[in-house]
């Protein structure tokens, strides 16, 4: 897997910690396989160096839709998840 910098890997690891907190029953190997797969991409929302949330998705080969795999927010009820999904829909 290719990362542009060490800070990207750090963000993914912080996102993994949020996922583990929000999805405690999901097995860790499954989370790893989604986050670090070359078929999946993650969109992470930060504000002043604080991770607010993230989502992981993939676009099936030659399809016109995205498949949302994971969505988690470090602070529930603040609209971070909605913001991420709306941003993804607009791109």
The pLDDT-based confidence of 16 (bands split at 50, 70, 90) is very high
- Give CA–CA dist 46/37, Å, rounded: 22
Q: pLDDT tens digits for 60-73?
A: 887 788 888 999 99
Residues near 74 by beta carbon (within 8 Å), at least 6 away in sequence: 18, 21, 50, 51, 52, 53, 80
What pLDDT band is residue 1 in, cutting at 50, 70 and 90? very low
Which pTM was predicted? 0.83
- Banded model confidence at residue 3, pLDDT cuts 50, 70, 90: low
Residue 49 confidence (pLDDT) above 90: no
**Percent of the chain at pLDDT above 90?**
43
């Amino acid at each position: 897997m290719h990362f542009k910098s060490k800070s990207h890997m750090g963000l993914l690891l912080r996102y993994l910690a949020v996922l583990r907190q929000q999805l405690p029953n999901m097995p860790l190997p499954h989370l790893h396989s989604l986050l670090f797969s070359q078929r999946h991409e993650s969109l992470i929302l930060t504000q002043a160096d604080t991770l607010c949330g993230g989502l992981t998705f993939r676009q099936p080969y030659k399809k016109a839709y995205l498949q949302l795999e994971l969505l988690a927010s470090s602070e529930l009820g603040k609209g971070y998840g909605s913001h991420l999904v709306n941003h993804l829909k607009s791109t």
